[in-house]
Amino acid sequence: MRLLQLIIFMALAPFFMLSHAESSNPVLARVNGVDITENEVKHFISKQVKSIPAQVALQEMINVELLAQAARNENLMKDETLQLEIKRTTSALIASHYLQEHLRKLEISEQALKQRYEKEYLNKPQNVEYNANHILVKSETEAQDIIKQLQGGAEFAELAKSLSIGPSGKDGGALGWFKSTDMVAPFSQATMKLKAGEYSTEPVKTQFGWHVIFLNDIRTIEPEPFEAVKKQLSTAIAAESISNKLKVLRDKAFIKLK
């Protein structure tokens, strides 16, 4: 992995190296006329998963420089696959550096984080859970007939046990607690219109069939505290900023697909 990282780094050396004439960046080695500076070695070390001594890093850089020079001398730089890898790797590294600079300049205020928290975590449907039973049948006519039986005083759970074709039928149609986002939209929308103790007076159609829903109870779930999700919120804002930046760049660019 170090070898690959170093090859990538040296392909982009002009973007990272400071002037060799600067006294703050002394040359540590010269390999057939190619300088390896202190800043290059420090940068290489910073990219390692585990810290390594400077002398070890320098020796690895010398080895790779020797291999790279040998490849050039033997005309291996003309290899099409290598050229493609250099081109794409170079572009990816430059793009990554550009985005890092963009994020470094991005200022995310406490107010912006709190606004995002309110949007993402407060007053959202996922903060409410519903406990319901349902009866699933194949046709609207069957569902309407079940509603008539309920209006006549029939027990919902007993009808579910005898008539529902859903897997929860044997349990009286019990679905337990769920969020609106856990169910398909028509089912959730119908459930949210009910009050605890009410059943749907109109059949509810989904891709599974026709439902009659009985809402047992509703409860509110406390959202995660602001401090616990602060980092996650910051990441989301940063991701949006990158997305917006890309949109601006795309809008300005002339892109022709062939």
Q: What is the pLDDT of residues 84-115, one digit of tens each?
A: 999 999 999 999 899 989 999 999 999 999 99
Q: Which residues are paired to 91 by β-bridges? A: none
| Residue 19 clears pLDDT 50, i.e. is over it | no
- Distance set, CA 59 to CA 31, 64, 187 (Å): 11, 9, 66
Question: 49-84, pLDDT tens digit by residue?
Answer: 899 999 999 999 999 999 999 999 999 999 999 999
- Give the pLDDT confidence score for residue 81 in this predicted structure: 93
pTM, to two decimals? 0.53
Closest CA to 202 of 144, 139, 137: 144
Helices 156-163 and 140-151: crossing angle in degrees, nearest 10, is 150
Distance CA 60, CA 72 (A): 19
Tokens of 242: 């990158």
The pLDDT of residue 11 is 43
Which helix (H) or strand (E) element contains residue 213?
strand 209-220
Which residues in 226-242 are b (16+ Cβ under 10 Å) and which e? beebbeebeeebeeebe
Q: What is the mean pLDDT of residues 159-179?
A: 96
- Domains, the chain, in order of start with CATH, read 2-105 (no CATH), 110-120+224-252 (no CATH), 125-220 (3.10.50.40)
CA 122/CA 43 separation, integer angstroms: 44
